[in-house]
Structure 1
Amino acid sequence: MPEMKLVHVAAAIIVDSEGRVLIARRDASQHQGGLWEFPGGKVEKGEAVESALARELDEELGIQVESARPQIRITHHYADKSVLLDVWRVERFSGEAHGREGQPIRWVAPSALVDFEFPAANTPIVSAARLPDRLFITGNIAELGASSDQYEAELVRRIRQLPADSLVMLRAPELDDEAFSRCYYRLLDVCEECGIALVLNSSLELANTLGADRLHLSARRLKSLHTRSQFFGRWLSASCHNQEELDRAAQLGADFVTLSPVAPTASHPGAPVLGWNQFWQLTEQSTMPIYALGGLSDEDLQEAWNHGAQGVASISSWWGRF
């Protein structure tokens, strides 16, 4: 059987000043007709992706791209074709978007994207559109020399200084289940008040007992998970360090992962690191949003985007900021 041709498509997550995302509905006569999609179109032979994106958005929506950056690249195999979706995030544009080809369009809040039916290939793009570009991971109690109550108070103070729509992971292996649970419920109240999403880094059993909506698994816990349905919440993510772990996370339907270590870290001096080239090779094979982790800070965001990352996950750079 001949190998299916790979169709290269430039697509856009277009965000307006209110943080809403633009989606369009495919004509019934098209492939995957009637479903919603992120605007874009085929990259012609010899054409730069950015040029194809600008051309397609002008033709389809009547807008001119002023700035765009890479968001995620997904290769998806349908029964009749393979598609490389090269997705860019557009946050600055001129013109008023409208369906120039008669297609219905709609501006929706990122959280509402799950209410629309997209082609299967768009599932990770929906996740990427709903996730921020930074993941803040809590540091160790030992770094503060604090009691569990002091640690909790410090976390509350730091979380209150983050912008709305941030993503925070509670990782505190030094706490026993009782203290961890108290801390989780306290932070959950604060995060809900501030419009921040809280991810629990714990065992599956504790997360389900607490009724957590988001769970992040260590590589060891990821390996022992049998099915996605074992977690009762909505968002599942995991720590990955190699292709095998990325494949396992994808098989279980993880919404996103962290991939580390990209650079040397103070906590693991001399340990092997991926570097950006290997990180890029791994993201190119992935079907999930990936946060780059390990020795990175906000200053590495552009480099992370250029190498296929959703953004940067940080522990030390956030923890040492105050």
Structure 2
Amino acid sequence: MIGYLTQIIRAVAFVFIALLLCGVIFEFAGFSAPLMFQSIADGAFLSMRAWENSLRWGLPLFLTALGVVISFRCGFFNIGAQGQFYMGAIAATFVADGLNGQSAVLVVPLTFAAGILGGALWALWPGLLRVKSGTDEVITTLMGNFIAGLALIYVTSGPLKDPSGTGQAASSRPIGEAYRISEGNSLSPTIIVICVLVGVGMWVLVNRTAFGVLSSLAGRNPIMVVWQGARLSRLGLAGFVIGGALAGLAGTIEVLGPIGRLSSGMLPTHGFTAILIALVANLSVLATAVVAIFFGGLAAAGLYLPVLAGLPAAAIDIINAAIALFITARAWPKRLTGLLRRDAT
């Protein structure tokens, strides 16, 4: 317990240092660091509807980050959450658009199933390459992000293109109102319930099942897992599939919920932020929920930065990058040491 609290305090300290560093950088660039912090606090937690906005951006991040947590706990570095998010959203849109006019009782469940399956299948092929031929999953999942991004541009400019669009940004036809799970670009009780149920399910999976125990062992000591009679390949594939399915679910929620359509510029950093959330949370399900809301607050604060501090909204990306720098610098030596030991043997 003490070690767990120490890890949490260390992660919070790194985030705090990253924020201070950004404040210094922006101060030297001619902006006001106190106004930056005030803008983040107001936009994320203190202003009217701030918590609603933080949850609106944080809950989809929570789902995708949970998938990253499962994959990483299994010892596989699946960094393809962005592509899996896109593929889930694409599959969901094809179903919702193709069945437009049918009963919502039929269309909505099929749309969710398609989105989850799309994300899972997009995670499956790099998983198979990893366990069958030893291909580096970091490279395949990273390349999968670019392929999925190009697929998104293709479908929003071709098969799913909205003929009434302005041409400024390619997008699909709007999802029918009967199939939407939230009104406009906002949160809804349906989305909250889905995220809570998935979060509870993943906590039980990680902490109360044999899969959770073995996956944690696989990430730390694969030889011990083999001694227990388990197959690392099955654990790894399960981690990939679950991670992709959760990212696809997040993409489906965005399509049926706040965004209401597929867009070529749809949340371009969503998956990468989810990876950062998982690392900050130290692969804990409960901590992932808290950290996801914090990063959702940062995303919501992006609307306040230009108004109160005169900073561009992209300043949030700089803050995220600074946090990633400190968190990965903390995590890198263990990974590097493991690789060096493996090469030495």
Q: What TM-score results when the alignment is normalised by the length of structure 2?
A: 0.23
More strand by share: 1
- Greater relative contact order, per chain length (Cα 8 Å cut-off, separation 6+): 2
More helix by share: 2
